[in-house]
Amino acid sequence: MSFDLISKVNESQKKAKVVDVRSGDTVKVYQKIKEGAKERIQIFEGVVIRTDRKQSHTSRITVRKIASGVGVEKSFLIHSPLVEKIQVVRRAKVRRNFLSYLRDRSGKSARLRGQNFDREAVNDVRDEAAEAEAARLKEAAKEEAAAKAAEKAKEEAELEAKAAEVEARHTETE
């Protein structure tokens, strides 16, 4: 009884469709970042060096990239609501699931042999909820910009009115 309940909750947390990501793939991960009251989407591009529990709701990928000469690794939960989408850029032929040996390599020795694949078919995962969320964020940003522009126009109008009033006083006194 309780296991069925747990599995039902776990399944409800999963995304409907996710990209088939494998070790060796070069991916772009679009992640939502919340800074105070603002939200933005940050892109992290690198090589997948590890995939864990693909069938589970806790499936995770570890992505590695070199930033300013320093290796950076980030783990992403595939079904997390903070991960907007994952896009496969390149696919490489590897014979392992955990590519931890790439940590010790740099430059040409860290290259992986490319493999041809149908990019459109792999990345064709349309999540209407995620697209609606992205559209909502864009709309909110537009509304915020419009509100700021209106506020600035109002302040400028007040300043012009004050300047005209001061000008009128100076012409009266002369």
Write down the CATH number for the domain with range 2-126.
2.30.30.790
- Domain limits, the chain: 2-126, 127-174
Pair 24, 112: CB distance under 8 Å: yes
Q: What is the pLDDT of residues 18-67, one digit of tens each?
A: 778 888 888 999 999 998 888 888 999 999 998 888 777 778 889 988 88
**Segment 57-60 long-range contacts (CB within 8 Å, at least 24 positions apart):** 57/10, 57/11, 57/13, 57/14, 59/18
pTM over 0.85, yes/no: no
CA dist., res. 125 & res. 84, Å (int): 11
Percent of residues, the chain, with pLDDT higher than 70: 97
The 3-state secondary structure of 123-142 reads HCCCCHHHHHHHHHHHHHHH
Distance of CA 25 to the CA centre of its chain: 17
Q: What is the pLDDT of residues 128-174, one digit of tens each?
A: 777 787 788 888 889 999 999 999 999 999 999 999 888 888 888 76
